[in-house]
Amino acid sequence: MARKRRVYVRRGVDPHLEDPYLRRGGYREPTVCPTCGLVFHDKRWRRDDELSHKLHRRKQTLLQKCPACRKIEDQYPMGIVTLSGHYLPEHLEDIRNLIRNEEQRGAEKNPLERIIKIEEGERMLVVQTTTESLALRIGRIVFRAHRGSIDYKFSDREKLVRIDWHRD
């Protein structure tokens, strides 16, 4: 008598809302990202320059790009923060510092949280991030520091958040 195979579905997780750059099974350990030097160790990506340097010289170490470097290379943002208004040009340097500080603070906990690029236009700044959570934190911190109006839009079809902040 043949055994029936069961199909398990992860409850509460829509497959369209998962990060397509994260592997379900993880990576072989140790794996080092040749672009940024992150190390996949104990089932997570870490910034450890000393370990990265040691592993780079070993022959059995797998060199493979981390999900953040792949997103940056493919220009695949999971968060887009648009800052606009007449208020922006005169406070641009302060807002840029807030954004960079939040990126550094986030990278301490999760080194895969990075800014893909920052585009500057006339009275507009667009920040693309590798994770939704970094975009949300950038939007919140700019709103707390400079007030204005903020709008959050979450995609129904893919893992993406758009945040629009405006102040005149």
Residue 17's pLDDT is: 63
Token digits for 116? 């893909």
Residue 8's pLDDT is: 44
DSSP-derived secondary structure letter, 105: H
Whole-model pTM: value is 0.86
Tell which residue, 134, 131, 129, 123, has the closest CA to residue 165: 123
Burial of 57-80, coded b for 16+ CB within 10 Å and e otherwise, reads: eeeebeeebbbbbbbbeeebbbbb
Q: pLDDT digits over 92-149, tens only?
A: 999 999 999 999 999 999 999 999 999 999 999 999 999 999 999 999 999 999 999 9
Residue 115 CB partners (closer than 8 Å, separation 6+): 99, 103, 127, 128, 129, 130, 134
Burial (CB < 10 A; 0-12, 13-18, 19+), residue 117, is exposed
Cis peptide bond upstream of 30, omega within 30: yes
At which residue do the structure tokens 């911190």 appear?
141
Tell which residue, 92, 77, 95, has the closest CA to residue 143: 95
DSSP-derived secondary structure letter, 66: -
Domains in the chain: boundaries: 15-69, 72-166
